[in-house]
């Protein structure tokens, strides 16, 4: 799949300014390219700052691409995780089948960078967005767009809006299967079959497959959660087979599921659909939509992903870190850092203090039991049981492990890419633009 490499490269000509938090004032007025030519180091940036480790990202992209190929599934990474065309380009270059997105606007942003196949993991019912998609399909026959539907009412509404849209190309949709107490999606296979029949009657929609999101139904790796996920995926497979048996597909089909929590279960229950034979079988692509794998983390995904050191010889590595400075030591066992909710993710676990870093003080491990107990808007509360002011002095910088990439990237419009988060003095080798 393609992306406009020139549009991505042009990001290097954007000028830097005070709107880009953490950048040193000496960078203001320079282009990204000119600033990087000065060979900056991370300790020249202000704190707080979020970084992406280039070595870890490259390894994660390779691990996931090879894992998907070996499993016989396609990969359409969820681009909303990073909203970074530079990273999308890397994922597509590694063989990704498409970029997944969640809103019409996100899809428009991807198209502005030339992404040629977009999977919208959501129902597109906004008339402005539908008209835009119709126009894009009409003017570019190479562009592919797949959206979701999860009710007959959705089908009818999309059909009505598209009846006044330009072009005659039918919009490809996938029937979304959900589950009890989950998110969107038809709540049973029978209801999903009714939706598929409604798509078949539509003048402006074409049925292209089925999809869903299993991680909406579980949040850990207990036997009960794994059984719930397997049961849901089996129902998704049944839905696909029943649509195929009823002649509901006019061509090849897509079956898509998956985040970064249970990808091995998606492969276990769905990958076989790609090679299924029989009188009613259709050519099927099984597509995994994992997004968080690209940076992994030191929190939620480190604990739930099957692609960690506990399960595989080639694990994913955490590539995102926060760096915060101690600004106050008001009590012997308390330090206040200058990073808070505006800077770091906290919805899937608080940041984890990892070590004190130089050059202001000698790099060293933190005292045993050190933890961040809460975040304010611009402060982190670092608890130091039995600690003293000398353990974490005012002015010292801490590296923090983070949880949940999706709510880390959205707090930064420009993210320094470093060569190695474990280096004594990490070097900044790129700047990632994000669009949120």
**Are 36 and 153 in the same domain?**
no
Looking at the structure, tell me whether residues 335 and 263 fall in a common domain. Answer: no
Structure tokens at 2: 């393609």
Q: Do residues 270 and 368 share a domain? A: no
Residues 422, 329, single domain; the answer is: yes
Residue 222's Cβ-side half-sphere holds a number of Cα atoms within 13 Å equal to: 7
Flag whether 302 is in a domain.
Answer: no
48 shares its domain with 66: no
Q: Are residues 71 and 216 in the same domain?
A: yes
Concatenating the DSSP letter of every residue in 276-295 gives --STT---EEEEE---GGGT
pLDDT class of 401 with cuts at 50, 70, 90: very high
Query: For the segment 315-369, what is each residue's pLDDT rounded down to a tens digit?
Result: 999 999 999 999 999 999 999 999 999 999 999 999 999 999 976 667 788 888 9
Dump pLDDT digits (tens) for 94-137. Answer: 999 999 999 999 999 999 999 999 999 999 999 999 999 999 99
Indicate whether 161 and 186 sit together in one domain. Answer: yes
Print the domain residue range for 386. 5-53+316-433
Q: First CA to last CA across the chain, in angstroms?
A: 23
Mean pLDDT of the chain: 95
Residue 279: pLDDT band by 50, 70, 90 thresholds? low
Last residue in a domain, options 297, 327, 359: 297
Q: Which residues neighbour 154 within 8 Å (Cβ) at sequence distance 6 or greater?
A: 123, 125, 195
183 shares a domain with 62: yes
How many domains are there within the chain? 2
Q: Which two tokens stand for residue 426?
A: 């990490």
305 within some domain = no
The answer to whether residue 396 sits within a structural domain is yes
> Average pLDDT of 278-302?
92
| Shared domain check, 334 and 250 | no
Distance (Å, whole) CA 333 – CA 321: 24
What's residue 387's pLDDT? 83
pLDDT in the model for residue 281: 80
pLDDT at 360: 61
How much is the average pLDDT of 8-19?
A: 98
Tell me: do 196 and 335 sit in the same domain: no
The domain spanning residue 26 has which CATH number? 2.40.37.20
Token pair in block for residue 281: 């079988």
Element housing 331 (H / E): strand 320-331
């Amino acid at each position: 799949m393609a992306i406009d490499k020139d549009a991505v490269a042009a990001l290097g000509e954007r000028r830097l300014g005070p709107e880009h938090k953490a950048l040193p004032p000496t960078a203001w007025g320079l282009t990204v390219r000119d600033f990087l030519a000065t060979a900056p180091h991370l300790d020249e940036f202000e704190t707080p700052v979020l970084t992406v480790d280039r070595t870890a990202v490259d390894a994660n992209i390779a691990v996931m691409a090879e894992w998907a190929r070996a499993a016989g599934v396609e990969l359409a990474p969820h681009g909303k995780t990073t909203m970074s065309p530079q990273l999308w380009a890397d994922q597509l270059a590694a063989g990704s089948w498409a970029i997944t997105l969640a809103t019409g606007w996100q899809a428009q942003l991807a198209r502005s960078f030339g992404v040629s196949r977009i999977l919208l993991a959501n129902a597109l019912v906004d008339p402005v967005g539908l008209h835009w998609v119709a126009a894009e399909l009409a003017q570019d026959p190479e562009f592919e767009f797949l959206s979701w539907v999860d009710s007959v009412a959705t089908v009818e509404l999309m059909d009505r809006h598209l009846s006044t849209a330009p072009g005659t190309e039918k919009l490809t949709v996938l029937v979304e299967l959900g589950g009890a107490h989950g998110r969107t999606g038809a709540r049973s296979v029978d209801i999903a079959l009714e939706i598929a029949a409604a798509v078949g009657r539509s003048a402006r929609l074409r049925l292209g497959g089925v999809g869903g999101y299993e991680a909406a139904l579980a949040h850990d790796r207990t036997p009960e959660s794994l059984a719930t996920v397997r049961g849901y995926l089996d129902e998704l497979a049944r839905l696909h087979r029943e649509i195929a048996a009823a002649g509901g597909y006019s061509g090849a089909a897509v079956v898509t599921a998956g985040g970064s929590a249970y990808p091995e279960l998606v492969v276990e229950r769905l990958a076989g659909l790609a090679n299924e034979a029989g009188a009613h079988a259709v050519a099927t692509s099984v597509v995994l939509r994992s997004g968080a794998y690209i940076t992994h983390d030191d929190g939620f995904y480190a604990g739930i992903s099957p692609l960690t050191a506990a399960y595989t010889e080639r694990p994913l590595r955490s590539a995102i870190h926060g760096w915060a400075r101690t600004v106050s030591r008001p009590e012997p066992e308390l330090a206040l850092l200058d990073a808070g909710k505006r800077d770091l993710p906290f919805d899937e676990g608080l940041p984890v203090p990892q070590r004190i870093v130089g050059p202001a003080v000698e790099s060293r491990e933190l005292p045993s039991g050190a933890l961040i107990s809460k975040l304010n808007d611009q402060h982190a509360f670092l608890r130091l049981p039995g600690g003293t002011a000398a353990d974490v002095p005012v002015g010292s910088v801490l590296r923090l492990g983070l949880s949940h990439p999706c709510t880390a990237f959205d707090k930064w419009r420009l993210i320094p890419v470093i060569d190695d988060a474990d280096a004594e003095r990490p070097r900044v080798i790129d700047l990632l633009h994000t669009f949120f």
